[in-house]
């Protein structure tokens, strides 16, 4: 059953799932959920059940569109196949060598050099073509995606199932109640836990009235974490969303307020980012709360899965994706949980939908 209020999760463990799903007639498009340690089979079954239940509504929408929809706009995407062939001939070898570099910054610089070389090899007419940039991006995607599907080799040398090296340390800030430095590959988060009294609880002004929350999680993504210079101000939608995702993942294992009558604030400062910083916040948040003495029911960890789906139907699921694999891939599938089951799940895709078979492998 769905939960009316996720803050009741720890008090009513029989209410185990809150799931939002969107899809088409044939496939799932989006999933957002928080759960109380559901197994992979239970979570997948809930998604399949939700997809089945939306079919009557989809049928009604189709019927309504047949009688009321306007004529679809006739649009044909530009054909730049000839330009792409020139770009591929001029830059494929250098682009492939650039993607073979494991260090993110060095790889980014090498890709920029390859792009510059491709542009220099084009005629003035081709350089003025507005489709030159899309053609270069198509080449980048083809190099990254093709090697994964054909050879199972990713741009940093891993296979599809290997997680990047993990380094974690607790107690790095001696004057904080709890702290942890979690590093996975080139993604790193400094996560700090502070404990307060009941007077420090957050008051949530919701549509159905005010309520109080004794667990706060704030996620900060400063520009320097990706090597950029920018303004640091109030959090944006991305930071709020990532923080909420990590909050959902950790909420299920917190002690009941009657057992631990303190307000818990977790702040995740991302110091370096190359994919899945929200899941680094989950891992670091779990460690920092344990360092602060919060009696969690179980440690929580999270990972981001990816997908490469080619036009010929071949596909590959990637474990612990990099930033480039997120940008040039087809799916960002974040899953967090304990050894007993899943506590949070979020999926967004860039294709027409995925099947239960693909979701099953991503959850495996």
Last residue of a domain, one of 151, 177, 202: 151
Specify the pLDDT at position 4.
Answer: 47
The helix (H) or strand (E) run that includes residue 317 is strand 315-319
Flag whether 57 is in a domain.
no
Residue 336's CATH number:
3.30.230.70
Same domain, 189 and 330: yes
Query: With 50 as the cut, is the pLDDT of residue 3 above it?
Result: no
Last residue of a domain, one of 105, 122, 151: 151
More confident residue, 12 or 171: 171
Same domain, 320 and 199: yes
Query: With 60 as the cut, is the pLDDT of residue 1 above it?
Result: no
Range of the domain at 323: 166-363
Same domain, 316 and 194: yes
Specify the pLDDT at position 270.
Answer: 96
More confident residue, 120 or 1: 120
Distance CA 336, CA 282 (A): 8
Same domain, 91 and 200: no
Same domain, 124 and 173: no
Query: With 50 as the cut, is the pLDDT of residue 88 above it?
Result: yes
Specify the pLDDT at position 364.
Answer: 75
Flag whether 52 is in a domain.
no
Same domain, 253 and 147: no
Specify the pLDDT at position 14.
Answer: 58
Cβ count near 113 (within 10 Å): 13
Segment 301-314, tens digit of pLDDT = 999 999 998 877 78
Flag whether 85 is in a domain.
yes
Same domain, 285 and 335: yes
For the chain, what percent of residues have pLDDT higher than 70?
A: 96
Sheet strand arrangement including 17-23: 17-23, 28-38, 342-349, 331-337, 301-309, 315-319
Distance CA 175, CA 189 (A): 18
Q: In the predicted model, what is the mean pLDDT of residues 88-108?
A: 90
Distance CA 283, CA 287 (A): 6
Q: In the predicted model, what is the mean pLDDT of residues 270-278?
A: 93
User: Strands 263-272, 301-309: parallel, antiparallel or unpaired by DSSP?
Assistant: unpaired
Same domain, 351 and 318: yes
Same domain, 286 and 141: no
Query: With 60 as the cut, is the pLDDT of residue 13 above it?
Result: no
Query: With 50 as the cut, is the pLDDT of residue 2 above it?
Result: no
Report yes or no: 164 and 237 within 8 Å, Cβ to Cβ.
no
264's torsion region: left (phi>0), alpha (psi -120 to 50) or beta?
Answer: beta
Last residue of a domain, one of 151, 177, 205: 151
Ranges 65-79, 118-132, 133-147, 326-340: which has the least confidence: 65-79
pTM summary value:
0.87
Same domain, 141 and 173: no
Flag whether 32 is in a domain.
no
Specify the pLDDT at position 217.
Answer: 97
Same domain, 92 and 146: yes
Same domain, 207 and 257: yes
Segment 313-353, tens digit of pLDDT = 788 899 999 988 888 888 899 999 999 999 999 998 888 88
When divided into structural domains, the chain yields a total of 2
Flag whether 330 is in a domain.
yes
Flag whether 42 is in a domain.
no
And the tokens for 315?
Answer: 């596909």
Specify the pLDDT at position 15.
Answer: 61
DSSP states of 108-169 as a string?
A: HHHHHHHHHHHHHHS-HHHHT-TTHHHHHHHHHHHHHHHHHHHH---TTS--TTPPPPEEEE
Residue 86's CATH number:
1.10.10.400
Flag whether 95 is in a domain.
yes
Specify the pLDDT at position 11.
Answer: 52
Flag whether 72 is in a domain.
no
Query: With 80 as the cut, is the pLDDT of residue 212 above it?
Result: yes
């Amino acid at each position: 059953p769905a939960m009316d209020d996720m803050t009741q999760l720890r008090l009513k463990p029989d209410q185990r799932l809150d799931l939002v799903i969107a899809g088409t007639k044939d496939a799932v498009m989006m999933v957002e959920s928080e759960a109380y340690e559901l197994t992979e089979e239970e979570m997948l079954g809930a998604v399949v059940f939700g997809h089945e239940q939306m079919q009557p509504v989809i049928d009604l929408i189709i019927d309504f569109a047949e009688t009321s929809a306007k004529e679809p706009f006739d649009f044909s995407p530009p054909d730049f196949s000839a330009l792409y062939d020139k770009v591929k001939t001029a830059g494929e070898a250098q682009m492939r060598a650039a993607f073979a570099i494991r260090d993110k910054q060095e790889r980014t610089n090498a890709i920029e050099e390859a792009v510059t070389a491709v542009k220099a090899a084009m005629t003035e007419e081709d350089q003025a073509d507005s489709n030159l940039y899309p053609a270069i991006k198509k080449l980048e995607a083809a190099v990254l995606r093709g090697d994964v599907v054909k050879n199972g080799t990713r741009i940093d040398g891993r296979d599809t199932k290997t997680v990047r090296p993990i380094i974690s340390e607790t107690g790095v800030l001696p004057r904080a109640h709890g702290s942890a430095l979690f590093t996975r590959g080139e993604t790193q988060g400094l996560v700090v836990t502070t404990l307060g009294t009941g007077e420090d609880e957050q008051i949530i002004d919701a549509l159905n009235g005010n309520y109080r929350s004794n667990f706060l999680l704030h996620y900060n993504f400063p520009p320097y974490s990706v090597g950029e210079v920018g303004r640091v101000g109030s959090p944006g939608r991305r930071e709020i969303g990532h923080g909420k995702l990590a909050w959902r993942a950790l909420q299920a294992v917190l002690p009941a307020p009657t057992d631990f009558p303190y307000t818990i604030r977790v702040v995740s400062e991302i110091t370096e980012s190359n994919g899945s910083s929200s899941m680094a916040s989950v891992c670091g948040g779990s460690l920092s709360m344990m360092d602060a003495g919060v009696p969690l029911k179980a440690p929580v960890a999270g990972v981001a899965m990816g997908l490469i789906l080619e036009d010929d139907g071949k596909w590959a699921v990637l474990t612990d994706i990099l930033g480039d694999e997120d940008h040039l891939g087809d799916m960002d599938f974040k899953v967090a949980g304990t050894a007993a089951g899943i506590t949070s799940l979020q999926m967004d895709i860039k294709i027409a939908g995925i099947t239960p078979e693909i979701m099953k492998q991503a959850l495996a």
